[in-house]
Amino acid sequence: MAKPHRNLVRDYRQDLRLFGSPLAKTGLAAMLVALVMLPMVIQDDFWLSVLVYVGITAVGAIGLNLLTGYCGQISLGHAFFIGAGAYVTGWAGSELPLFLWLPVAALAGGLLGAVIGPFALRLRGHYLAIVTLGLVFLGEHLWRNWRGLTGGNSGTSVNAQVNLGPIDFNRIELAGEVYSRNQGYFWLVWALVAIVALLIKNLVRTRPGRALQAVRDRDQAAEVIGVRAGRYKIGAFVVSSAIASVAGALFGSYQQFVSPDEWNLLLSIQYIAIVIVGGLGTVFGSILGAIFVGALPALIDRFGDAIPGVQTSVGGEGFISVFALNQAIFGVLIVLFLVLEPRGLAGIWLRIKAYFKSWPFSY
């Protein structure tokens, strides 16, 4: 009898493995080594800052992908929860250590998600998107008028403590070497990206994760087979909102200043673009999308002078501003990937991997 292909899945437990092959484990180890070594190789503050923002964006994108990609609930209110996390950090970060203010921000976001979640029970599709869109405008009004927490239109400073025991991520001293704030934040943010990705990857492999996907595919059919769709929809909102608040907390603590202008509709659209371009219903697709889309605004702002027609200053030459160009790029990316590659960058990667698995040496 012919020996079965080593990539053939013959057991349900094999299909649920976190790392399907020794090669996957080797690749993970290589990525971990690269993340540890990268700040030592790239010491330019601009590129380190871009990578820090990309990591923060990846955390938020994983949360949105859980809600939209795995549960099928469209949300345009992600910016509201990210802003909430940033302001909670501004309030609690100066008094509490890192291992306390970060969970406090997550708890605040989760509670807000629990309040909004019940609206998802009777709404779906465009109707739910419109309701969550209202959160952005509600948030803008709240952030501009709750001056005791947000500082109003002028914004507020965020002086969060980023010490973890003896380690100060603002200035890490290791083996006689002193590493800058950007290097320290790179390690902090990408460690949290790994933790959040691992938690969500494990969640979607469990019974609740399979229930979320059943609700996404056909919620009425899921209820027929015993899945309590309402409970899982609300749960998805809670977890997604908590993760979004963690991203906002990291953003506020890194930037050290936040204002209401940052939590607008464009930010929510940016996150929608990230999960679509990266790949709906995939954890690693959220990270790929954050790298591909999340870095664009910073790169355009930095190299806008080299792009023909871009107006980099008020009254300068050009027919399109940096802000308008970012909006246009997000819109074009969403349309192109929805039409040409609905599975996003994750789908492209999976096809490449399947192609190489079919080579003769893979037997």
Q: Is the pLDDT of residue 107 over 90?
A: yes
Tell me what the mean pLDDT of segment 12-36 comes to: 74
Would you state the pLDDT for residue 16? 63
Q: Is 328 exposed, middle or buried (CB count within 10 Å of its CB: 0-12, 13-18, 19+)?
A: exposed
265, 130 contact by CB (below 8 A): no
pLDDT by residue (tens digit) across 304-359?
Answer: 777 777 776 666 666 677 777 777 887 888 888 888 888 888 888 888 877 777 66
Least Cα distance to 182 among 255, 247, 252 occurs for 255
Q: For residue 358, which amino acid is it?
A: S
pLDDT band at 363 (very low <50, low <70, confident <90, very high): very low
User: Quick one: CA torsion of 31, 32, 36, 39, rounded to 10 degrees?
Assistant: 30
Average pLDDT, the chain: 85
Structural domains in the chain? 35-358 (1.10.3470)
pLDDT band at 11 (very low <50, low <70, confident <90, very high): low
pLDDT by residue (tens digit) across 42-101?
Answer: 888 888 999 999 999 999 999 999 999 998 888 899 999 999 999 999 999 888 899 999
Would you state the pLDDT for residue 143? 92
Q: What percent of the chain has pLDDT over 90?
A: 35
Would you state the pLDDT for residue 352? 85
Q: Which residue has the higher pLDDT, 361 or 170?
A: 170
Q: Is 241 exposed, middle or buried (CB count within 10 Å of its CB: 0-12, 13-18, 19+)?
A: buried
Q: Beta strand pairing status for 310-311 and 320-321? A: parallel
Q: Is 55 exposed, middle or buried (CB count within 10 Å of its CB: 0-12, 13-18, 19+)?
A: buried
Q: For residue 261, which amino acid is it?
A: D
pLDDT by residue (tens digit) across 216-261?
Answer: 888 788 888 888 888 888 899 999 999 999 999 999 999 999 999 8
Q: What pTM value is reported for the model?
A: 0.89
pLDDT by residue (tens digit) across 141-198?
Answer: 999 998 888 888 888 999 988 988 888 888 888 777 888 889 999 999 999 999 999 9
208, 43 contact by CB (below 8 A): no
DSSP string, 291-345: IIIITHHHHHHHHGGGSTTEE-STT-S-SEEHHHHHHHHHHHHHHHHHHH-TTHH
User: Quick one: CA torsion of 345, 349, 354, 360, rounded to 10 degrees?
Assistant: 150
Q: Is the pLDDT of residue 361 over 60?
A: no
